[in-house]
Amino acid sequence: MASTLYRGGVIHSSADPFAEALLVDDGVIAWIGADDTADGLAARADRVVELDGALVAPGFVDAHVHLFEIGLALAGVDLSASAGVTSLGSALDAVAKAAAVAGDDEVVLAFGWDERSWPEGRPPTAEELDAAAGGRAVYAARVDVHSAVVSAALARRAGLDGRPGWDASGWVTGEAHHVARDLAREVSPGRRTELYRAALRAAAEQGIVSVHEMSAPHIDTRAGLREVLDLTHDAAGGLAHVVGYRGELCTTADDARSLLADVPGLAGIAGDLNVDGSIGSRTAAMRQPYRDAPVPGERGALYLTAEQIANHLSAVAAAGTQGGFHVIGDRAMDELVLGLKAAADVHGAGSVRAARHRVEHALFVDATALATLLLFGVSLSVQPAFDAAWGGPGGMYAARVGATRAEGLSPFADLAGAGVPVAFGSDAPVTRLDPWAGVLAAMSHVDLDQRVSARAAFQAHTRGGWRIAGLDHTGAGQLRVGAPAHLAVWRAEHLVVQGTLGRPASSWSTDARSGTPLLPELGGDAPRPTCLQTVRDGVVLFDTFG
């Protein structure tokens, strides 16, 4: 494998906080040091990259993504505000534009709408989608992807009338949503491969070297997960590393062993194994009724019981793998706590801890839940961009559950202070593949007491992802000699040692005394860092250097 020397920049390394250059040889970091020494190494390197002050840092890990859905969203109609869709009318216009060039039998796929961001304050109806699409089938997923609106044409084709979760307005949740989504996602094998590759390329363009793929029967097939793991097994393929999870409920160890045998390389039987749904779609299981529910007293849906949770955790632990669940609401977290305790009562706390189980999202973590997670060694995969998008007194969370309860969501500082292993992700396509946005969101939590430093947030979005997957022993997530060369190069206007948002400790040019690795300044008027190159195991996945 070729060697590459990077020089003339800033190297984010605790091993040498003042380093200006780095040598990658045979996929491994072989040397870190000063430019004057690097000049003597240039002749032996196959490639020399002149950084011109750019930052070389550990590559990001996105600890919760859905590659097939990302690919579909990239190819579909973007109905988010960031795409300029700011009203129901503009959403229907976007659907009409896509339908005008679609085939008669093709399903028009749309993603990312949030009725709370529109002046009309409501989703489109089936009748409106039919009119906009000229009678073509339309599937338009809400931003949380736990519900959707479909056209009458798609509803007829899928046979949705009368299914649980069907509403004549075109709104679908639960079983009706799963059936509609399955129909909308029918693609050829070749097209499916293109979508996976497109999603992984998009990740690399954001400095992401590894993703945790959250596959489940309602999201993608086992065959699809096998294909993704095969495509990304070797860095030479030029795609980001994938940690594969499959969310299927197991009752016995034989169930778990059968799944592990069917999907070689599976990291765990975890991920989007849903204990409940989402707050946006009002399907997250809550202790108290939703404040803004159309039907008074609505408290969401609990999909799994504590007994099922305990059986699953016991089964996967017996099979020697990691387990875990999607948990959003506080009632769902209560059920998870009961399940963890029940598994420990039968098999012992040590057995539960040894399995390194993980939980996705975990918005509600009170004192009881925090103590239980710590006791049983549970890791969390959380999404800071959720708080940025829907937190705050005027946000969706406050509207759904009340401002007081919403203030306690996503307690980043409490988790970090208690020592709970945490990794950051996006849940893409629910929020975008944008790890710096995740770092900034954790620094600028709506609750000042729950903000964390840029350094802590960056580590959660890099080394944290390797850690909760049990891969940090390789040195991944750090730039040090002997570690795998998983890195990204960034152009940033200003590098600083940061605390929480808006509290930079010093500028990079005068930081010779701190010995702390530097990061781009984020927030305010600071321009977003630009990715110049992404490297996995020494293989370039994305490159602007030419």
In terms of Cβ atoms closer than 10 Å to its own Cβ (0-12, 13-18, 19+), residue 419 is: exposed
Could you give the C-alpha distances from 291 to 146, 220, 295, 300, 411, in angstroms and in order?
Answer: 19, 33, 10, 12, 22
How many angstroms separate the CA atoms of 340 and 343, rounded? 5
pLDDT 10s digits, 297-311: 999 999 999 999 999
What residue has token string 């990239």?
74
Residues of the chain with pLDDT under 50: 499-513
pLDDT 10s digits, 178-203: 999 999 889 999 999 999 999 999 99
Phi first, then psi: give them for residue 450, nearest 5 degrees: -105, 5
How many angstroms separate the CA atoms of 98 and 87, rounded? 17
**Global pTM value:** 0.92
Q: In the chain, what are the domains?
A: 3-59+478-492+529-543 (2.30.40.10), 68-184 (3.10.310.70), 192-474 (3.20.20.140)
Q: Report the pLDDT value the prediction gives residue 506, as an integer from 0 to 100.
A: 33
Q: Report the pLDDT value the prediction gives residue 129, as an integer from 0 to 100.
A: 95
* Contact assessment for residue 474 and residue 58, using Cβ atoms and an 8 Å cutoff: no
Q: Report the pLDDT value the prediction gives residue 296, as an integer from 0 to 100.
A: 93
What residue has token string 């007081």?
404
CA dihedral (452, 453, 459, 462) positive or negative: positive
Q: Report the pLDDT value the prediction gives residue 163, as an integer from 0 to 100.
A: 95
